[in-house]
Amino acid sequence: MLGDVRVGAVGLGTMPLSIEGRPDEARAVATVHAALDAGVTLLDTADSYHPPGGEPGEGELLVARALASYGGRTDGVLVATKGGRGRTADGGWTVDGRPGHLRRAAEASARRLGGDAIGLYQLHKPDPAVPYAESLGAVRELLDAGTVRLAGVSNVDAERILLAREVLGDRLVSVQNRYSPAVRDGEAELRLCAELGLAFLPWSPLGGISRSSLDGTSALEEDPEFGAFHRVARARGTGPQRVALAWLLSRSETVLPIPGASRPETARDSAAATGLVLTEEELRELGGSAVRGKREASGRTEVNGARSYGREQEAPGRTRVNRALAVQG
């Protein structure tokens, strides 16, 4: 759950579709459509997802176009965007957490995405030049004004998560931090999210598994740190990317990975990770025990409890999975 919204257990990170090296428009849109076809109901973007020299919001506009051209239902899709970062002409990244900037940025994002309000608005990164409470105060004002329905924070430590909870209350529903097979130093934040009932969205969740399983075995297979993911994948007849996502899902019932994709095949493969349940022996080999509880067999993510409606979808050779859709308020 993201607040009172139920989403599928794996989302889609659209950053690779929007920044330098991005695919052409047709393939980018096809990638989003493939994710939706596979049951993905959370799309993550940001106003800063654009190439150097590009215009803010290009990634948001791409998501909006992909949803508008999709042939199926989109009323159950939750779009999450972020504000507070920017790009430089040479490809660098900036941070701007000033309240006035955040308000203007969110209003611009809402216009680009369309609809009554932004489903989930995330403060992209703390600005060292601005007290974090002031940036959070701007997000609270956006919630009060109805520009934003739900709020999240990103790239934060446990202290800032607690501050965000104090300022935003139960309208804070998510934390988006880096976490992957290669980067596991976010355990304290992951545990805190489990305790508070906040969704934990790992960004760059395939760190250490550098290539899609669709590309075959990578050079990392013999690396003792990550080779276990390839060994388990071989034994299961799947790819290390899917194993890595299944491992993340096993870490906590609040984990909701948002792997990126730049082609339809990869988006479908990531979504299929909800159907892979790792054994206790495999989890020991991969490292790390579950933080708290177990995920539903259906592959849904639930935090805080809420009503929802769902659909069942079955692909050839796959286990039938109930992928619950988000309910837009």
The catalytic residue positions are: 49
**Phi, then psi, of 240 in degrees rounded to 5:** -65, -25
Beta bridge partners of 122: 82, 152
Q: How far is 277 from 231, CA to CA, in rounded Å?
A: 15
Which residues have a Cβ under 8 Å from the Cβ of 88 and sit 6 or more positions away? 52, 94
Q: What is the DSSP letter of 272?
A: G
Which residues have a Cβ under 8 Å from the Cβ of 292 and sit 6 or more positions away? 191, 194, 195, 252, 253, 254
Residue 203 near residue 46 (C-beta atoms within 8 A): no
Nearest C-alpha neighbor of 42 from the set 21, 63, 61, 62 = 63
**Amino acid present at 146:** G
* Residue reference for tokens 């051209």: 69
List Cα–Cα distances, 154 to 44, 146, 160, 174, 263, in angstroms.
12, 21, 10, 8, 26
Coil, strand or helix: which one is 21? coil
Tokens of 91: 């490809």
Residue 12 near residue 262 (C-beta atoms within 8 A): no
Half-sphere exposure of 30 (CA within 13 A, CB side): 10
Residue 89 near residue 44 (C-beta atoms within 8 A): no
